């Protein structure tokens, strides 16, 4: 026999002699090997996919992925090696906003005295009874017919009752329990001093008391409420005569150094409380004034008449003017957001333009233009939150009270509330307004913010006007231009100077952007998949194919097969019970040669006996170990 050392030598000789590398692979074999062993999911799916449709889909996906890699890669390389720098300087003109100006002394006293005579007399008596000295008390009469809305004292010092005393007439009555006060006081509020309040009553003598801690505030609000009652029935043409014209109110006007005529450059606007207002550059003619340079010399300059000797004593509490800055063809809510301009001062208003852009659904519920808001606008201007809320309240006012609020636009076919035509409308108004403040009318919820709007950021600076050196000649010159007699000279408090201009031509844009966009989401997901699973976009498609296409298809086929078999068995009926018996032969000696048959083997058919071959097996010389490289094992021969 060969020793162990000889066997090792033979094995070594075999390895050195035989060619075990195999033949060089062909291109087809090489591609087949690559597609079956690559880590690129798309390429592997081309090889393992069954059917031409799947192979074609994966070829298309793989080609798209390769094209995207080349395209984005070229862009990155070009951006990396690019050394060019471009600088863009853009000069643009900014449209000048519309400017609305109103006087804080809106009505001439000598023109409106007849309308307000009774109200003014009762106001003087009320102030006297409160303890405030009034110079024209001698003109007041105590026997006048009482006004429809009384001003009263509320005495809450007595438990379980309230004494209500009319401020003007002195008459009183006792209300059992606590009265309903429209204030931020608790209903159980008690004070050692009487409270002054406005009494408004509705049907069945249900009353609300609008209480104040300041008598001055109470008188102002009480006078305003009666003033609205009176002005609600005055025709529009008569209201124009009560106020100031553009030439009377605007003494001088310059725009970018060019003279502008107050009577033609300003459009009149009738405000319910501030009377005649005037709008510059309102846009009704389709033209827009643009500004190409910033600074006070390239804006609007106005000299306003703020004389106070012919003003209403109880309506106009302030002196000067109100300025509203807004876009063209929009409604200025000047009483709510206007800027007060004091007399005897030069006011400079520097503007900056801000564009505010908000994201819509799903990031917010803002509206693009208000077309999706279920409120009919009463304003001839684009949508804004203020126009929507005012319109919503006005429609609710007409629906609930049967008349329209004087401070809002009048819908067609309606009329303003007045005590003569609508007794008790104030009670309905206060009820409705309280519901509006508490958001029970849904106006605040319905009127959504607009997604894109332009705002004007205003910076106000003030300076004394005129200076001591120029006071004498300047006031005399203005008085002469106004056509005043020689003995009537304007005072500094009769004049207000206004300058409105752009501080710079920079238009700032404030825009919202998603904190996580679809690009960021895909990038982050790709980073996570690549870092933790070494997976790409094609890997995701592969997983979707397996779990969303292949798995359902396999389950569906199994379900169909099971259902088909069950249906076939149902039609065929039950199989008969088997009755096959096979004898078991025991070998000589009585001991079995193999294990007894089990139930499984008993149910199988017997195998056919294998015949015994009659010829001996052939001799295969190829199986014998021949001489290899001249080596013959010891004791061996060819015949062995």
Compute the average pLDDT of residues 419-440. Answer: 90
Is 12 contained in some domain? no
pLDDT value for 603: 45
- Is residue 122 domain-shared with residue 178, that is, in the same domain? yes
pLDDT value for 592: 46
Q: Which of 13-17, 290-294, 537-541, 601-605 has the highest mean pLDDT?
A: 290-294
Q: Residue 131, Cβ neighbours under 10 Å: how many? A: 7
Q: Is the peptide bond before 400 cis (omega within 30 degrees of 0)?
A: no
Q: Which helix (DSSP H) or strand (DSSP E) does residue 345 occupy?
A: strand 345-357
- Is residue 263 domain-shared with residue 321, that is, in the same domain? yes
Q: Tokens at residue 26, please?
A: 């062909």
Give the 3-state secondary structure of residue 578. Answer: coil
The full DSSP string for 223-261 is HHHHHHHHHTTS-HHHHHHHB--HHHHEEEEEETTEE--
Instruction: Decide which of 201, 233, 265 is a domain's last residue.
Output: 233
Closest CA relative to residue 280, chosen from 269, 271, 291: 269
Q: Residue 286, Cβ neighbours under 10 Å: how many? A: 7
Is 188 contained in some domain? yes
pLDDT value for 599: 41
Task: Sort 302 into a burial class: Cβ within 10 Å, 0-12 / 13-18 / 19+.
Answer: buried
Instruction: Decide which of 403, 425, 450 is a domain's last residue.
Output: 450
According to DSSP, the residues that pair with 464 across neighbouring strands are 345
User: What is the rounded CA–CA span in Å between residue 461 and residue 397?
Assistant: 41
The tens digit of pLDDT for each residue in 220-235 reads 999 999 999 999 999 8
Contact 238, 279 (CB under 8 A): no
Q: What are phi and psi of 234, to 5 degrees?
A: -85, 130
Backbone φ/ψ region at 137: left (φ over 0), alpha (ψ -120 to 50), beta: alpha
Helices then strands, counting H and E runs in the chain, come out as 18, 18
Q: What are phi and psi of 264, to 5 degrees?
A: -110, -25
Q: What are phi and psi of 89, to 5 degrees?
A: -115, 120
- Is residue 353 domain-shared with residue 278, that is, in the same domain? yes
Q: What's the Cα-to-Cα distance from 104 to each of 309, 498, 597, rounded to whole Å?
A: 13, 15, 118
The tens digit of pLDDT for each residue in 347-379 reads 999 999 999 999 888 888 999 999 999 999 999
Lowest mean pLDDT among 8-17, 86-95, 241-250: 8-17
The full DSSP string for 107-132 is B-HHHHHHHHHHHHHHHHHHHHHHT-
- Is residue 148 domain-shared with residue 167, that is, in the same domain? yes
pLDDT value for 5: 66
- Is residue 45 domain-shared with residue 178, that is, in the same domain? no
- Is residue 157 domain-shared with residue 102, that is, in the same domain? no
**Which strands make up the sheet holding 339-341, listed edge to edge?**
266-271, 275-280, 98-103, 321-326, 339-341
pLDDT value for 460: 95
Q: What are phi and psi of 195, to 5 degrees?
A: -100, 145
What DSSP designation does 154 have? E
Name 532's Cβ contacts closer than 8 Å, sequence gap at least 6.
none
Residue 344: CA atoms inside 13 Å, Cβ hemisphere, count?
A: 9
According to DSSP, the residues that pair with 508 across neighbouring strands are 354
Q: What are phi and psi of 301, to 5 degrees?
A: -120, 130
- Is residue 132 domain-shared with residue 228, that is, in the same domain? yes
Name the average pLDDT for the chain: 81
- Is residue 482 domain-shared with residue 351, that is, in the same domain? yes
Q: How many domains does the chain have?
A: 4
- Is residue 419 domain-shared with residue 488, that is, in the same domain? no
Is 567 contained in some domain? no
Is 568 contained in some domain? no
pLDDT of 389 above 90: yes
pLDDT of 337 above 80: yes
Q: What is the pTM of this model?
A: 0.71
- Quote the domain boundaries for residue 468: 86-107+244-358+454-514
- Is residue 401 domain-shared with residue 487, that is, in the same domain? no
User: What is the rounded CA–CA span in Å between residue 446 and residue 435?
Assistant: 15
Is 626 contained in some domain? no
User: What is the rounded CA–CA span in Å between residue 347 and residue 547?
Assistant: 73
What DSSP designation does 94 have? E
- Is residue 133 domain-shared with residue 250, that is, in the same domain? no
Compute the average pLDDT of residues 293-299. Answer: 93
- Is residue 184 domain-shared with residue 219, that is, in the same domain? yes
Is 189 contained in some domain? yes
User: What is the rounded CA–CA span in Å between residue 216 and residue 575?
Assistant: 107
Which CATH number characterizes residue 263's domain? Answer: 2.60.470.10
Between these two residues, 526 and 630, which has the higher pLDDT value?
A: 526
Residue 565: CA atoms inside 13 Å, Cβ hemisphere, count?
A: 5
Is 125 contained in some domain? yes
pLDDT value for 593: 45
Q: Which of 84-93, 366-375, 526-535 has the highest mean pLDDT?
A: 366-375
Which ranges of 232-364 does DSSP label H, i.e. alpha helix? 236-242, 246-249, 262-265, 334-337
pLDDT of 242 above 60: yes
Q: Tokens at residue 208, please?
A: 């609300």
Strands (E), 515-618: none
The tens digit of pLDDT for each residue in 250-291 reads 999 999 999 999 999 999 999 999 999 999 999 888 888 999
pLDDT of 212 above 50: yes
User: What is the rounded CA–CA span in Å between residue 201 and residue 441?
Assistant: 22
Q: Which helix (DSSP H) or strand (DSSP E) does residue 444 occupy?
A: helix 443-446
Is 155 contained in some domain? yes
Contact 251, 481 (CB under 8 A): yes
Name 423's Cβ contacts closer than 8 Å, sequence gap at least 6.
148
pLDDT value for 160: 82
Between these two residues, 621 and 481, which has the higher pLDDT value?
A: 481
Lowest mean pLDDT among 87-101, 201-215, 587-601: 587-601
Lowest mean pLDDT among 78-92, 309-323, 359-373, 474-488: 78-92
pLDDT value for 590: 47
Q: ∠111-168-229 over CA atoms, to 5°?
A: 45
The tens digit of pLDDT for each residue in 136-195 reads 555 555 545 778 889 999 888 877 888 999 999 889 888 888 888 876 555 555 566 788
Contact 120, 313 (CB under 8 A): yes
Instruction: Decide which of 181, 208, 233 is a domain's last residue.
Output: 233
Compute the average pLDDT of residues 197-218. Answer: 88
pLDDT of 595 above 60: no
């Amino acid at each position: 026999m060969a020793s162990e050392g000889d066997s090792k030598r033979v094995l070594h000789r075999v390895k050195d002699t035989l060619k075990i590398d195999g033949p060089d692979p062909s291109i087809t074999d090489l591609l087949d090997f690559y597609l079956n062993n690559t880590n690129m999911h798309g390429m592997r799916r081309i090889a393992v996919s069954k059917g031409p449709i799947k192979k074609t889909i994966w070829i298309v996906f793989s080609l798209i992925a390769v094209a995207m890699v080349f395209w984005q890669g070229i862009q990155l390389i070009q951006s990396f090696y690019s050394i060019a720098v471009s600088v863009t300087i853009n000069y643009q003109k900014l449209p000048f906003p519309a400017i609305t100006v109103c006087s804080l002394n809106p009505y001439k006293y000598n023109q409106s005295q007849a309308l307000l005579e009774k109200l003014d007399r009762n106001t003087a008596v009320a102030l006297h009874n409160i303890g405030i000295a009034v110079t024209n008390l001698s003109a007041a009469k105590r026997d006048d017919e009482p006004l429809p809305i009384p001003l009263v004292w509320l005495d809450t010092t007595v438990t379980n009752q309230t004494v209500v005393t009319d401020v003007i007439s002195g008459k009183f009555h006792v209300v059992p329990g606590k009265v309903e006060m429209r204030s931020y006081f608790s209903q159980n509020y008690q004070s050692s001093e009487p409270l002054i309040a406005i009494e408004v009553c509705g049907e069945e003598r249900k009353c609300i008391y609008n209480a104040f801690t300041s008598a001055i505030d109470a008188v102002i609000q009480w006078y305003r409420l009666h003033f609205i009652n009176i002005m609600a029935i005055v025709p529009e043409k008569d209201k124009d005569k009560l106020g100031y014209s553009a030439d009377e109110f605007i003494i001088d006007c310059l725009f970018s150094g060019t003279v502008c005529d107050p009577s033609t450059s300003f459009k009149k606007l009738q405000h319910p409380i501030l009377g005649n207002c005037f709008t510059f550059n309102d846009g009704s003619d389709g033209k827009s004034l643009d500004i190409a340079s910033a600074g006070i010399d390239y804006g609007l300059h106005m000299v306003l008449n703020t004389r106070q000797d012919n003003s209403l004593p109880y309506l106009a509490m302030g002196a000067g003017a109100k300025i509203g800055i807004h876009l063209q063809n929009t409604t200025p809510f000047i009483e709510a957001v206007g800027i007060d301009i004091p007399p005897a001062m030069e006011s400079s208003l520097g503007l900056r333009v801000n564009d505010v852009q908000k994201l819509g659904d799903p990031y917010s519920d803002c509206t693009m233009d208000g077309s999706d808001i279920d409120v009919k606008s009463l304003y001839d201007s684009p949508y804004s939150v203020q126009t929507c809320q005012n319109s919503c309240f006005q429609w609710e006012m007409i629906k609930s009270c049967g008349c329209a609020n004087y401070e809002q636009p009048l819908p067609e076919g309606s009329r303003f509330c007045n005590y003569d035509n609508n007794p008790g409308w104030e009670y309905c108004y206060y009820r409705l307004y309280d519901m509006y403040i508490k958001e029970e009318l849904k106006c605040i919820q319905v009127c959504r913010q607009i997604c894109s709007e332009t705002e004007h950021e205003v910076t106000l600076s003030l300076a004394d006007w005129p200076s001591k050196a120029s006071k004498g000649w300047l006031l005399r010159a203005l008085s002469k231009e106004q056509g005043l007699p020689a003995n009537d000279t304007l005072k500094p408090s009769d004049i207000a100077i206004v300058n409105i201009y752009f501080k710079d031509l920079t238009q700032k844009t404030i825009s919202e952007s998603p904190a996580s966009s679809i690009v960021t989401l895909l990038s982050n997901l790709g980073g996570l998949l690549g870092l933790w699973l070494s997976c790409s976009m094609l890997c995701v498609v592969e997983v979707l194919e397996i779990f969303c296409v292949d798995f359902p298809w396999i389950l569906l086929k199994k379900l169909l097969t099971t259902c088909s078999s069950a249906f076939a068995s149902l039609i065929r009926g039950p199989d008969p019970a088997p009755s096959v018996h096979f004898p078991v032969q025991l070998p000589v000696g009585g001991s079995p040669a193999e294990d007894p048959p089990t139930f499984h083997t008993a149910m199988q058919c017997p195998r056919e006996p294998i015949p015994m071959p009659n010829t001996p097996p052939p001799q295969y010389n190829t199986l014998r170990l021949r001489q290899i490289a001249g080596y013959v094992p010891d004791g061996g021969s060819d015949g062995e």
